[in-house]
Structure 1
Amino acid sequence: MARRVKIGLVQPNIWDDMDANVAQIAALARQARADGAELIATPENSGFMGANAAASVAAGRPEERHPALQAFRDMAKEMSAWFLVGSIAVKPEGANRNFNRSYLLAPDGEIAARYDKIHLFDVDLPSGETYRESNSIAAGDRGVLASLPFATLGMSVCYDLRFPGLYRGLAQAGADLISIPAAFTRTTGEAHWHVLLRARAIETGAFVIAPAMWGNHPGNRQTYGHSLVVDPWGRVLADAGEGVRAVTVEIDLAEVAKARAQIPAWRHDPSYAMPARAAE
């Protein structure tokens, strides 16, 4: 099994026009493929970014007739490459909320794996920004591993990044490559993005690929960009910085075994008791 592979990260600026968003991603994906990428990855919300929860819910479509998903499947087939759709809004028939669903597409355009975002971004930031993802998104309830010819992929989305237990479990189940597509806010991205991604790579001894959204979006939202690839030792191999662009980097998956042999903490979890919660 080949252990060296080129990863392409697509960093778009997504708005509330699905056709334009798909066209933008297609151009960037083709650039990454021309640079030799065998796995191309897009960020969270690759199909649509609405101004509010109502707009986001309205943009959701059932999987079997989702125009963005079909377009991405066609791209994977056209480029004959593995294609990670960071996420799109998928709404089952009759539902009043979407799933924030990530897809791994095979080079023939078939769906190889699906993952529904587990942790929902319901926060009030010191900047005054308020987010209630649960108003428009239904949470997933299971971790997902996917088999590629060169790696076992553990899938996640954005806010999942802040919950290390998920990544511990994925690594212990066999993941040596972890995807964390995101639309991180500029406020939280500047503070936490790099350090959290490096921590997840170090804790699991896995490669982390994190395609990210960048720019200004409807509803006065700003995202941070800085799509990253991090190796199992915590070194940043690629950082897209700011702007609309694609970056491609070669990784050597043999580095996973090296890092885990040096610091095998990913499999040293003992059982222990926790103290009772203190009275409030």
Structure 2
Amino acid sequence: MTEPVKVAAVQMVSTPKVEENFAAARRLIMQAARQGAQLVLLPEYWPIMGMSEADKVAHAEQPGAGPIQQFMADIARQERIWLIGGTLPLASAEPGKVLNTTLVYDPAGQRVSRYDKIHLFSFAKGDESYDEARTIVHGAEVSTFEAPFGRVGLSVCYDLRFPELYRAMGECALIVMPAAFTYTTGKAHWEILLRARAIENQCYVLAAAQGGKHQNGRRTWGHSMLVDPWGEVRDVLPEGEGLVMGDIEPRHLHGVRESLPALKHRKL
């Protein structure tokens, strides 16, 4: 495929109520589809941002069954889009813990790929403290899938700090990054890391973030964006609900790799 493909990242301020988040996601996905998006990315934790870290455990679903997965399959089929479902809690073998999982649905509503978040975030500074490993089990496998415009690499939030993950994906046309970066770490590192991953992998990076003050008191950074293979930010949404949109341009991607063939020059 050589023609541009329009993609969209959904930015949300998710709440503890799954039905409220369904309504917000539905509205924004439909808006993106009406504007021509063929691939839509939801943010991390889009179905639930609980009052405590343990709240998501109560909403854990078995693979292939449950209201969150049904919602994603149905709207992908309804809108005839590729839908990358941010993350949802899937049941794990460890009691009291879940997998933080990205599921991908094709325009027929069929699940075509799965990625369980590998790197789990922890951070402590002043009054802020997070430790995802208390309620989440590490994933173990790198995951990509083939879209009409090329390979798409799946990653989530804290993964962004580990460039070796992206090298393991092989050459991608697009890397996606659903996230719920904290305001503190996002302000410091979010944009520079997204642009670095785009530049070093010479591909597009589409990032869908949580972006605002949540009912549980957490503040997320937002700044969902689309970055091109040269590291240019094509679109960005600083805060609040909304969409980031732009085109994946195969000719531009090919041109960057031809003029600066860094991927061919790798020795390690």
TM-score, reference length from structure 2: 0.95
Matched, 1:247 2:249: no
Q: Deviations over 1:81-111 (max 9, x none)?
A: 1111111111147743111101111001100
Matched, 1:25 2:25: yes
Tell me how far apart the structure 1 counterparts of residues 126 and 255 of structure 2 sit (CA, whole Å): 42
**Would the alpha carbon gap of residues 18 and 93 (structure 1) be closer, same or farther in structure 2, given more than 3 Å must change?**
farther
Q: Deviations over 1:26-67 (max 9, x none)?
A: 001111111100001110111111122221222222123221
Tell me how far apart the structure 2 counterparts of residues 68 and 230 of structure 1 sit (CA, whole Å): 29
Question: Structure 1: which 5+ runs fail to align?
Answer: 272-280
Tell me how far apart the structure 1 counterparts of residues 114 and 95 of structure 2 sit (CA, whole Å): 18
Which residue does the alignment assign to 2:111?
111
Whether contact under 8 Å (2:211, 2:238) holds in the other structure is no
Q: How does 1:99-248 map to 2 (within 5 A)?
A: 99-124=99-124, 126-170=125-169, 173-248=170-245
Tell me how far apart the structure 1 counterparts of residues 250 and 177 of structure 2 sit (CA, whole Å): 17
* TM-superposed deviation, 1:169: 2.1
Moved over 6 A (4+): none
Q: Deviations over 1:181-235 (max 9, x none)?
A: 1011111111111111000000100100001111122432111111110000000
* TM-superposed deviation, 1:247: 2.8
Which residue does the alignment assign to 1:44?
44
Tell me how far apart the structure 2 counterparts of residues 128 and 33 of structure 1 sit (CA, whole Å): 40
Whether contact under 8 Å (1:168, 1:266) holds in the other structure is no
* TM-superposed deviation, 1:2: 4.0
Supply the RMSD in Å over aligned alpha carbons: 1.5
Secondary structure of the residue aligned to 2:226 is: strand
Secondary structure of the residue aligned to 1:83 is: strand
Which residue does the alignment assign to 1:274?
none
Tell me how far apart the structure 1 counterparts of residues 95 and 139 of structure 2 sit (CA, whole Å): 14
Whether contact under 8 Å (1:61, 1:92) holds in the other structure is no
Q: Whose radius of gyration is greater, 1 or 2?
A: 1
| 2:90 counterpart letter in structure 1 | V
| 2:250 counterpart letter in structure 1 | L
Aligned residues: 268
| 2:153 counterpart letter in structure 1 | G
Which residue does the alignment assign to 1:61?
61
Secondary structure of the residue aligned to 2:23 is: helix
Question: Structure 2: which 5+ runs fail to align?
Answer: none
How many percent identity over aligned positions? 38
Tell me how far apart the structure 2 counterparts of residues 131 and 3 of structure 1 sit (CA, whole Å): 43
| 2:132 counterpart letter in structure 1 | E
Whether contact under 8 Å (1:127, 1:187) holds in the other structure is no
**Would the alpha carbon gap of residues 5 and 156 (structure 1) be closer, same or farther in structure 2, given more than 3 Å must change?**
same
| 2:108 counterpart letter in structure 1 | D
Tell me how far apart the structure 2 counterparts of residues 128 and 213 of structure 1 sit (CA, whole Å): 20
Which 10-residue stretch deviates more, 217-226 or 104-113? 217-226
| 1:150 counterpart letter in structure 2 | F
